[in-house]
Chain A
Amino acid sequence: MKDNLELDIVELEDRFDMSADLWSVAISADCGNSCGNSCCKPA
C-alpha cells in the first residue's frame, strides 16, 4: 500500500473504536443509546 500521504481525516462521529471491549460498550449504563431521550443523561 502506498498510503504515505499526510492526511487530515475529520471524524464527524467517533463513537468507539474496535479496540474497545464490545461487551462493556453494550452493557454500560448508557446502553449505547444516542436517542436523545435515553437513560444515559444524568438527572
Chain B
Amino acid sequence: METSCCTTAAATPQKLVQITGPTCYKPSRFNAHTIADDGSLILYNSFTGNTCTIPAAGIPEANRYLTQAGVQAPLGKIGEYLFKKGYLVEESVDEDARWDLRYSLQQFRPDILELILLSSEECNFRCIYCSQTFSKGTMTSEVRQGVRNLVAKRIRKLQALRIAWFGGEPLLGYDAIAELAPFFQQAARDYDVAFTSDITSNGYLLTRDRSRALLEWGVKEFQITMDGTVQDHDSHRPLKEGGSTFQTVFNNLVALKQHKFDYNVFIRVNFDNTNVHKLTPLVEMIRQHFGGDSRFQVRFHPVGKWGGPHDDELDVCGTRDTVQHLIRLREQARSAGVSSEKVSPYLQPMGKNVCFAARPYSFVVGADGKLMKCTEVLDTHPSNIVGQLDPDGDLNLDADAFAKWVKPYYKEDHMCSKCFFVPVCQGVICVLPRFYGEDSRSCPTEKLEIRNSLLEVWREKTATGEGHHVQLGSAAHIERQGSTG
C-alpha cells in the first residue's frame, strides 16, 4: 500500500460510512525548477506553461509544498498560489489523464488548416548543408487549382488558416504565390477566419516590390538566412552557378525594413564549427541596420547532417556545445541591442517544440501535388508521401501512411510517457526517428538543458522587465478558486 500524508478510513460493508481526511496535495509531475542568479527559485510547469520566481526567503516554505511526500490542507498563501497556478495539485488528480484530454482536444481539430506550399522546388542557391534534390520546378497550374479548391471547400468550417510558402526557393515560384496568396487572404476575410502567412526564403529574389506585395497579401512573417558576413555566408550559401549572395540578400533585408507594415523577420543564422566563433561582425551589422526595430530578430540554428550530398564534409557542433553556443549567441545578440528569438515559446505546451508534421491539420503540398508531412526529406523518404492533391481539391490521402505521422507517440514510449516535458514536445519534436524503431526519439535541447533554459527565460524577462509581480500578503490574498481536475 502506498503511503501518503492522507488517511482514508475504509468503508465497511455493514455501515457504508466513509470517513475522509483533509484534502491532500502533491506537486505536479510536470514541474521543473532551478535557482536563479539572484538566489530565487524559478519554478516551471510544462502543462500550464507557467513560470514564476519565488524569492529566496520563500524557498523553504515552497519546498515543503513541492516535496513528493505531499501536504495536507489547509494551504498557506504560497501553497494556495502554487495550487492556483498548477504547480500543486490535489492528490487524487490523474495528471496524465488531464494531459491526454488536452492533447486530444487540441491535436485532432478539424477547424484548422495549415498548408506548406512548395511554390518552387528548384532553388537558385546550393547551400552546403541542403538535402533537397531540386528535381521539380514551379507549382503546376493543376496543383494551384487543387489548392484553391481545397481551401474553398474547407474555409467555411475553419477557425484558422495558415499558409506557409516554402521550397526549394519559393520566390522562384513567385507566379504561383501571386496567383494564390490574394485568394487565401480574401477567403479568410470573407469567412472571418484567422489568417496567418509566412515565407521561408533565401532572400535573394526578395526585392522591395516583392516584399511589399507579399505584405499586402498578408504574408507577415519572413525567415531569411544569413550565415555570417560575406565570406562565411557565401561559402555556406553560394548561388547555384557559384557566386556571392551576401550583399544582395542583405540589401533586400534593408529594403524590407522600409515598409511601414506590422510584420516579423527572423534572420536565421545557421552555425557550425566553421563560423560559430565568427558571428560577431554579422551581429554588429544587424545592430547597425535593424537594432531597435523589434520586427527584426535573429534566430540561431545549428547546422545538422540533414541528408545532403556534403554531409560528410560538414563540421557540425555536438549537442552539448550547441546548447552552450546558443546561450552565448543569444546573450551576445541581446547585449548588442539586437532582438533575439526567445526560449520561452519553446517551453510552452502545444507550441514550437512540436513539429508541424505531427499535426493532422498540416500538409506540405509539392509543386507536383504530392502531399507530404516533413519539409526536410520531402519525397526522398517514401513514408513522407501521404497522398496526392487533385485539381478538385480532394486530398486522396493514404490514411495508413498519414496516421503514422500524427499518432500520439508519447503514449507508447516508456520514456516520453513519464517525462515532465511531454506536454511541450509530445515526443515529436521530430517525427522521423519514430520510423526507425520503437526506442528511437529526439528530445528538445530545451528539455535536455532545462536548468539552462529556465535561467535563460529568467534572464530574458528580467532584462526586459516583462515579469508580472504578485504580492502574497494580507493585502492581496489569493482566494482558492477550485480546480478543473
Contact = CB atoms under 8 A, between A and B. Distances in A.
Contacts of A22: 98, 101-102, 484
B156 to A, nearest CB: 15
Nearest to B89: A18
A20 B484 contact: yes
Contacts of A2: 61, 76
Contact of A3 (B49, B79, B220, B471): B79
Interface stretch (B129-137, B160-168, B225-233, B375-383): B160-168
Contacts of A39: 112, 114, 159-162, 194, 196
B221 A43 contact: no
A33 B351 contact: yes
Interface in A1-43: 1-23, 25-27, 29-43
A5 B238 CA distance: 62
Contact of B218 (A7, A32, A36, A43): A43
Interface in B31-63: 40, 42, 48-55, 57-58, 61
Contact of B473 (A6, A21, A25, A42): A6
B196 A7 contact: no
A16 to B, nearest CB: 6
B201 to A, nearest CB: 15
Contacts of B48: 15-18
B52 A9 contact: yes
Contacts of B1: none
- Chain B, interface size category, equals 35 or more
Given A17-B85, A29-B159, A34 B351 contact: yes
Contacts, number: 192
Nearest to B196: A41
B57 A38 contact: no
B102 A7 contact: no
Interface in B345-377: 345, 347-352, 354
Contact of A43 (B78, B106, B195): B195
Interface string B461-485: 1000011111111100000011111
Given A29-B194, A31-B112, A43-B194, A36 B52 contact: no
Chain A CB within 10 Å, residue with most, of B75, B77, B354, B481: B77
Nearest to A32: B350
B160 A37 contact: no
B350 A31 contact: yes
Given A1-B76, A3-B79, A18-B86, A11 B196 contact: no
A33 B196 contact: no
A27 B102 CA distance: 9
Contacts of B57: 5, 7
Nearest to A10: B467
Contacts of A17: 48, 50, 84-86, 481
A5 B76 CA distance: 10
A24 to B, nearest CB: 10
A43 B185 contact: yes
Contacts of B112: 31, 39
Given A5-B61, A9-B54, A43-B185, A31 B106 contact: yes
A24 B427 CA distance: 24
B172 interface: no
A25 to B, nearest CB: 8
A15 B50 CA distance: 6
Given A17-B84, A18-B86, A27-B105, A11 B457 contact: no
B107 to A, nearest CB: 9
Nearest to B64: A1
Contacts of A7: 54-55, 57-58, 77-78, 471-473
Interface in B267-289: none
Contact of A10 (B65, B85, B468): B468
B211 to A, nearest CB: 17
7 contacts: A4-B77, A11-B468, A15-B49, A22-B101, A25-B102, A36-B352, A43-B195
- Please list the 10 inter-chain residue pairs (A to B) with the smallest Cβ-Cβ separation, ordered nearest first: A39-B160, A26-B105, A6-B473, A19-B481, A1-B76, A3-B76, A34-B348, A15-B49, A10-B467, A43-B195
Given A32-B350, A40-B160, 16 more contacts: A3-B78, A6-B471, A7-B58, A7-B77, A10-B52, A10-B53, A11-B52, A12-B53, A15-B50, A17-B481, A26-B106, A34-B49, A34-B352, A35-B348, A35-B354, A39-B112
Interface of B: 40, 42, 48-55, 57-58, 61, 64-65, 71, 74-79, 81, 83-86, 89, 98, 101-102, 105-106, 109, 112, 114, 159-162, 164, 185, 188-189, 194-196, 198, 218, 220-221, 344-345, 347-352, 354, 457-458, 461, 466-474, 481-485
